[in-house]
Structure 1
Amino acid sequence: MTTITARAVAYPADGLTMIGHLALPAGVGRRPAVLIGPEGMGLSDVERRRADALAELGYVALAFDLHGGRYVGDPEEMLARCLPLLADPDRMRGIGHAALDVLRAEPRTDPDRIAAIGYGTGGAVGLELGRAGVDLRAIGTVNATTTGRPGEAARIRCPVWAGVGSEDPIMPPAQREAFTAEMQAAGVDWRLTVYGGALHAFHHPPVNHPTVPGVGHHPQHAQRAWRDVLDLLTECLPVSEDPGHAPGKRSSARH
């Protein structure tokens, strides 16, 4: 298996000291890079493993933080922090820009080849970076079909892929329709994948703490959503072929 290196990185954002997880591929040259946003509970080993998996494929990957180094497992506390955040595009953009600055500052990062993927609140942050006009190669979200301020989606300069569970009560059909209408009106190259029977956060392995209603793991769709994310990156942010980074290896990466 390809040797990668990973480390925690501290940086300021949203009045907090964030602790992200930066994973670097083998080698010394510049590589395309991926920003990874976590669910509303915050950065966990799930996102760290995804960053490591992307590094194994040849990407520089930064899984960013939402809560100042904390994982917020209590649903009420999580909602008390995330709902105001989701209602404030400027705060989300601030969190995203701070993480993006860290990623761009990494010498291994090709600053002209960056994509953003995210889950839940972290996906909403990625979309807001697009609405802010950040030059990204792709934006991919899972259970984050959030809409933005009127007209700002026209600033999105890259393809957008979104995945959502058909039974997700937090991102219901009306929200999905509003999101796709926003993307279409803005002329964005967008795609939406609906995973039949899946709830909110279907991609996330089971947790050992209470969750909000409507959340549940779906193992098959979790694997499919990861493959769809990899397909998006393969299309929009391909890793140059070199020893150990052949494109055919992408779909087998663990996450």
Structure 2
Amino acid sequence: MKTVTTRPVQYLADGLTMIGHLALPAGSDRRPAVLVGPEGMGLSDVERRRADALAELGYVALAFDLHGGRYLEDPQQMLARCMPLLADPDRMRGIGHAALDVIRAEPRTDPDQIAAVGYGTGGAIALELGRDGVNLRAIGTVNALTTGRPGESTRIGCPVWAGVGSEDPIMPPAQREAFTAEMQAAAVDWRLVVYGGALHAFHHPPVDHAVVPGVGHHPQHAQRAWRDVLALLAECLPLN
């Protein structure tokens, strides 16, 4: 296993002091970088471990924060914070740009080689960065087939990969169809993987607190989705 250096990073976004998790690969050269966005509950060890795994492969990785260092275990508290956020593209973009500024400022980052991968709310933020015209090499999103303001997806200049569970009641077939229609109309290089039998947040290990209805872990599809994310990065953000 390659040596990975990690540290928390504080930065301002959405009127809060965010605490992200930066993971750096071995060496001192500039490397491609990946933003990792968490589910609506917020940044947890799940995303930190994903950032660490990406750093072991050779990427600079930043798992970014959503809630000012808080992890929102209570579903109602999470919804009260996330639903207004998801309805406000400019707020989402502000959170995404603040994280992007952090990873670009890291000397190990190649600023022209950045991808964004997100889950749930973090995936919606990754998509909004694309719709805002950010120079990204790839966008990957799980459980976040969110649509944007009319015409703005034409600004997405990189491939978009999306994954969703077939039984996800939060991202039902109608939402999938709206998302893919938007991507197609905008001439985005997009792909969608539907994981059979999986619920919302199928990629996330089980938690010891209450969750919103329709959430459930699917171990096989969780591993498959991670491999699909890595394949997207290998294609669009290759490590030399």
Query: TM range, normalised to the smaller chain?
Result: over 0.9
Offset from partner CA, 1:120-177 (integer Å, 9 cap, x none): 0000000000000000000000010000000000000000000000000000000000
SS of aligned partner of 1:96 = helix
Give the Cα–Cα distance (whole angstroms) in 1 for the partners of residues 79 and 53 of structure 2: 29
Which amino acid is 1:53 matched to? A
Superposed, 1:206-245 pairs within 5 Å as: 206-240=206-240
Aligned to 1:72: 72
Give the Cα–Cα distance (whole angstroms) in 2 for the partners of residues 4 and 23 of structure 1: 7
Following TM superposition, by how much is the alpha carbon of 1:65 offset from its aligned partner in structure 2, in angstroms? Answer: 0.1
Aligned to 1:116: 116
SS of aligned partner of 1:17 = strand
Offset from partner CA, 1:21-51 (integer Å, 9 cap, x none): 0000000000000000000000000000000
| 1:40 is aligned to 2:37 | no
Aligned to 1:89: 89
Aligned to 1:125: 125
Following TM superposition, by how much is the alpha carbon of 1:58 offset from its aligned partner in structure 2, in angstroms? Answer: 0.2
Following TM superposition, by how much is the alpha carbon of 1:98 offset from its aligned partner in structure 2, in angstroms? Answer: 0.1
Following TM superposition, by how much is the alpha carbon of 1:178 offset from its aligned partner in structure 2, in angstroms? Answer: 0.1
Which amino acid is 1:16 matched to? L
TM-score scaled to structure 2, two decimals?
A: 1.00
SS of aligned partner of 1:19 = strand
Following TM superposition, by how much is the alpha carbon of 1:210 offset from its aligned partner in structure 2, in angstroms? Answer: 0.2
Q: Give the total of aligned pairs.
A: 240
Aligned to 1:245: none
Which amino acid is 2:53 matched to? A
Q: How large is the Cα RMSD of the aligned pairs?
A: 0.2
Aligned to 1:137: 137
Aligned to 1:174: 174
Give the Cα–Cα distance (whole angstroms) in 1 for the partners of residues 19 and 170 of structure 2: 27
Give the Cα–Cα distance (whole angstroms) in 1 for the partners of residues 175 and 166 of structure 2: 12
Offset from partner CA, 1:191-214 (integer Å, 9 cap, x none): 000000000000000000000000
Aligned to 1:101: 101
SS of aligned partner of 1:210 = coil
Give the Cα–Cα distance (whole angstroms) in 2 for the partners of residues 167 and 74 of structure 1: 23
Give the Cα–Cα distance (whole angstroms) in 2 for the partners of residues 36 and 5 of structure 1: 16
SS of aligned partner of 2:79 = helix
Which amino acid is 2:12 matched to? P
| 1:25 is aligned to 2:31 | no
Which amino acid is 1:200 matched to? H
SS of aligned partner of 1:134 = coil
Structure 1 unaligned residues grouped into runs of 5+? 241-255
SS of aligned partner of 1:213 = coil
Offset from partner CA, 1:204-237 (integer Å, 9 cap, x none): 0000000000000000000000000000000000
Give the Cα–Cα distance (whole angstroms) in 2 for the partners of residues 84 and 176 of structure 1: 21
Aligned to 1:195: 195
Aligned to 2:152: 152
Superposed, 1:43-54 pairs within 5 Å as: 43-54=43-54
Following TM superposition, by how much is the alpha carbon of 1:59 offset from its aligned partner in structure 2, in angstroms? Answer: 0.1
Following TM superposition, by how much is the alpha carbon of 1:57 offset from its aligned partner in structure 2, in angstroms? Answer: 0.2
Give the Cα–Cα distance (whole angstroms) in 1 for the partners of residues 80 and 121 of structure 2: 13
TM-score scaled to structure 1, two decimals?
A: 0.94
Give the Cα–Cα distance (whole angstroms) in 1 for the partners of residues 177 and 140 of structure 2: 17
